Amino acid sequence: MQDLKIALVHELPDRLRLRVPALRGTGLDAAELESWVDVLPGVREARANRAAGSLTVHYDGGSAARALILKRLATFRSTALAPGETTDAGGDAEIAPLATAAFALATLPLIPMPLRRVATFASQGRILAKGADNLVRTGVGVETLDALAIGLAAARGKVYTASIAGLLLALGEYLERRTERQSDRMLRRLLRPRPAAAWLERDGELVQVPGEEVREDEIVVVGPGETVPVDGRAIEGAALVNQSAVTGEEVPVRKEPPHRVLAGSTLVEGRLRIRATQVGQDTTTARVARFIRESLAKGSDTQRLANRLAHQRVYLTLVTGGLVYAFTRDLTRLESVFLVDYSCALKLGTPVAFKSAMAAAADHGVLMKGGQAVEHLAAADTLVFDKTGTLTHSELLVTDVVLLDPQGCDEAGLLALVASVEEHASHPVAQAVVEAARERHLGHITHGEVDYLVAHGLAAEVGERRVRVGSRHYLEEHEGISFADHTEEVARLQEEGKTLLYVGSERGPLGLIALRDTLRADARATIARLRELGIRRVAMMTGDRHAKAEALGQELGLDAVYAEMAPEDKAGLIARLQAEGATVAFVGDGVNDGPALAEARVGIAMPRGADIARATADILLLEDRLSAIAEARDLAGRTMRLIRTNFNLAVGINTAVLAGAITGRLSPIASAVLHNGTTIAILLRALAGAGSDRGKSRATRDQGALN
């Protein structure tokens, strides 16, 4: 880790330019520095220039945003790179070769004839040096062919041929690098958590610092509505904590000493003092930064095939050129042949199409972790859903009102009683009960002051009795109200996967309120759309009993239902389906879904899934909607069709150009224009093709789903 030294060198109303000397070295991740600032409100773009050692930040011009940018940079702590590792940042630097080539071509007519050859060699020196270096390091490659063609043309005095070819090569390289930078920046911005503040106890006082500055063993204080900035253990207090962003559990859980508290959780009610146990490289921010680099580096089978074919066609061009010269002794034809290269279009078009698809998917609320994820999703023919949190929604619904004291009141009276007390709480269970009472138009029951025991339950005087509502632990351990005589009823409801709210008084148990998550409104439509997109088999796995699971399966029109599945059996089922010849995509969200997500050909995690599910999955939904899966499948299919079409176009057009070069019908300039023009056209088609229907960017909402 290293501190960042910066200096403000120039400022416009909506732009800051800062000197960052560390960028000139190799120990600072320039992409990380860009995304560190990119996530701030008001920032439009942050661009690092490694060659100049500077960072340019475009923002909305507000004084608050300016102050936040400078404060954020002052707290930057860089993750040291491994020896030899570099990052591909430097937006201003990458346009320099293109500008140089364009300037050289524009000024060529102004240079005296005897000096034009020298000027051409000088302006194309980068390409010639790159070709020589590639030949020495890795053998014959496309860079070597480019250098041979341009060098041969320049040596023979065909300076315009050499300069035009160099300009087109520089343009193609610029478009590729610029596209990758924009796609990578979007993905990094979507993934990196928003800067989180932490309240620390230091020297007997509470001080607010950025979450990245918390050190191990320091005490963090978290109150209602605040996000836990670090992983740690509760040492004092009690609270209801919503861990849905981390574990997928929508119902808040009680946390008190010595429970573990996870970074990214949100306190619903109560207050906690937490001792930090995981900081620095173990924080969520650091893990996400590593995850982003790994995701963007993932290749695909299609990309590897394209690279292999491109490499083979370099030798095809080289051998063809040798044969042409051997039979014709025509250097002009040799130049024309060397300027025809299949590999550029093949190697550039495929990764750019994948990057474009990833950026388009992010716009639609889906993160695809590399081209391999796109490829595998397009190839999937079987989709398996884990039920809880995927096909079912996280919002709770009251399903049963069970009377345990017939002498008390009827079901409507019990629900009205519990809702009247629970309306003073704000957690999801209370909200579901209150909403159920409103839907049934039940009146409010007058009661005394509500006593609230954080993370346990509520108690209030109702008439001549004191009613307690909450967890079984609260009623039995704190209030002495035993539910032992109703074990069978409790077990039945729990086996159905329902959350229970216990109700009792000094006379004993009064009743149970059972709740469960609801079927997602878009589940049926999504499954139908997936079938239209080529998914032949849709299945569901669940721990529910067979009868309940089969009923849901029939409702959704599923092809197969696997019920009473133990968590450890999920990966085995996926492996068995794939052994039978299926290409499986699996959708899950829980901790126990991690092995199945890894086993499947392509794993898809829900946005509120557990950390391990999100890390293991190949595709992460950034919005809590199933329809995003169908959109991702559609995009993946269109991307693979685009790549195949581009491949055929590249081979067909370049073969025609090569034939023209061999027969002498195409001059070197014509070969260069047609070949490089084809490469650029395919590159632009890859940029716009699969992602041409992008809707409004969801970057803001996506970030919220990840925090």
Concatenate the DSSP letters of all residues of 352-409 into one string: HHHHHHHHHHHHTTEEE-SHHHHHHHHH--EEEEEIIIIIEEEEEEEEEEEES-TTS-
Q: Which of 355, 309, 375, 354 is nearest to 650 (CA)?
A: 309
Q: Which pLDDT value is given to residue 590? A: 61
Q: Kindly indicate the confidence band of residue 698, based on its pLDDT and cuts at 50, 70 and 90.
A: very low
Dihedral angle, C-alpha 207, 211, 212, 215, nearest 10 °: 60
How far is residue 292 from each of residues 289, 296, 530, 577, measured CA to CA in Å?
A: 5, 6, 28, 30
Q: Kindly indicate the confidence band of residue 497, based on its pLDDT and cuts at 50, 70 and 90.
A: low
Give 464's contacts (C-beta < 8 A, 6+ positions apart): none
Residue 542 CB coordination number (10 Å): 24
Instruction: List the single range of 37-41, 225-229, 266-270, 344-348 with lowest mean pLDDT.
Output: 344-348
pTM: 0.62
Q: Which pLDDT value is given to residue 85? A: 40
- Please give the mean pLDDT across all residues of the chain: 78
| 627 and 365 Cβ atoms separated by less than 8 Å | no
The span from the CA of 477 to the CA of 486, in Å, is: 16
Instruction: List the single range of 90-104, 233-247, 293-307, 509-523 with lowest mean pLDDT.
Output: 293-307
Q: Which pLDDT value is given to residue 567? A: 65
Q: Which pLDDT value is given to residue 288? A: 46
Question: Above 70 in pLDDT, residue 308?
Answer: no
Fold of 368-380+521-621: Rossmann fold (3.40.50)
Task: Determine the 3-state secondary structure of 586 from DSSP.
Answer: strand
Helix or strand holding residue 48 (H, E): strand 43-49
Task: Please give the CATH architecture assigned to the domain spanning 394-518.
Answer: 3-Layer(aba) Sandwich (3.40)
Question: Above 70 in pLDDT, residue 186?
Answer: no
- The CATH code of domain 197-288 reads 2.70.150.10
**pLDDT tens for each residue of 314-345:** 677 677 777 877 888 877 677 667 666 666 66
Q: Which of 191, 270, 275, 289 is nearest to 229 (CA)?
A: 275
Q: Is the peptide bond before 97 cis (omega within 30 degrees of 0)?
A: no
The span from the CA of 75 to the CA of 88, in Å, is: 23
- Selected residue with higher pLDDT from 385 and 98: 385
How far is residue 607 from each of residues 40, 232, 626, measured CA to CA in Å?
A: 22, 23, 10
- Selected residue with higher pLDDT from 630 and 651: 630
How large is the average pLDDT for residues 233-253? 74
**661-680: buried (b, 16+ CB within 10 Å) or exposed (e) per residue?**
bbeeebbbbbbbbbbbebbb
How large is the average pLDDT for residues 434-459? 85
User: What is the SS3 assignment for 662-693?
Assistant: HCCCCCHHHHHHHHHHHHHHHHHHHHHCCCCC
Tell me, rounded to whole angstroms, the distance of Cα 371 from its chain centroid.
13
Question: Above 60 in pLDDT, residue 209?
Answer: yes
Instruction: List the single range of 133-137, 393-397, 431-435 with lowest mean pLDDT.
Output: 393-397
The span from the CA of 28 to the CA of 48, in Å, is: 11
Q: Kindly indicate the confidence band of residue 706, based on its pLDDT and cuts at 50, 70 and 90.
A: very low
| 513 and 418 Cβ atoms separated by less than 8 Å | yes
How far is residue 98 from each of residues 95, 129, 165, measured CA to CA in Å?
A: 5, 16, 12
| 172 and 344 Cβ atoms separated by less than 8 Å | yes
Q: Which pLDDT value is given to residue 234? A: 92
Q: Which pLDDT value is given to residue 258? A: 85
Task: Please give the CATH architecture assigned to the domain spanning 2-93.
Answer: 2-Layer Sandwich (3.30)
The span from the CA of 503 to the CA of 514, in Å, is: 11
Q: Which pLDDT value is given to residue 397? A: 86
**pLDDT tens for each residue of 599-648:** 888 989 887 655 555 667 788 887 778 899 999 999 999 988 888 888 88
- β-strand 392-403 against 260-261: which pairing, if any? unpaired
User: Which alpha helices (DSSP H) does 440-496 contain, by range?
Assistant: 472-473, 487-495
Q: Which pLDDT value is given to residue 298? A: 56
The span from the CA of 655 to the CA of 649, in Å, is: 10
Q: Kindly indicate the confidence band of residue 248, based on its pLDDT and cuts at 50, 70 and 90.
A: very low
How large is the average pLDDT for residues 10-33? 80
Please give the structure tokens belonging to residue 375: 């490829």
Please give the structure tokens belonging to residue 602: 């392509």
Q: Active-site positions? A: 386
Q: What percent of the chain has pLDDT over 90?
A: 18
Q: Which of 623, 631, 591, 594 is nearest to 606 (CA)?
A: 623
The span from the CA of 278 to the CA of 454, in Å, is: 26
Q: What percent of the chain has pLDDT over 70?
A: 77
Q: Which pLDDT value is given to residue 263? A: 77
* Helix, strand, coil shares, percent, the chain, to 5: 50, 20, 25
Q: Which pLDDT value is given to residue 697? A: 39
| 493 and 400 Cβ atoms separated by less than 8 Å | yes
Within the chain, how many helices (H) and strands (E) appear?
Answer: 26, 26
Q: Kindly indicate the confidence band of residue 484, based on its pLDDT and cuts at 50, 70 and 90.
A: very high
Which of 101-105, 276-280, 357-361 shows the highest mean pLDDT? Answer: 101-105
Domain ranges of the chain: 2-93, 95-187+291-357+635-700, 197-288, 368-380+521-621, 394-518
State residue 194 phi and psi, 5-degree precision: -65, 150
Q: Which pLDDT value is given to residue 188? A: 57
**pLDDT tens for each residue of 53-100:** 888 999 988 888 888 888 778 777 654 433 334 444 444 446 778 888
Q: Which pLDDT value is given to residue 285? A: 41
Q: Which of 70, 65, 76, 83 is nearest to 25 (CA)?
A: 83
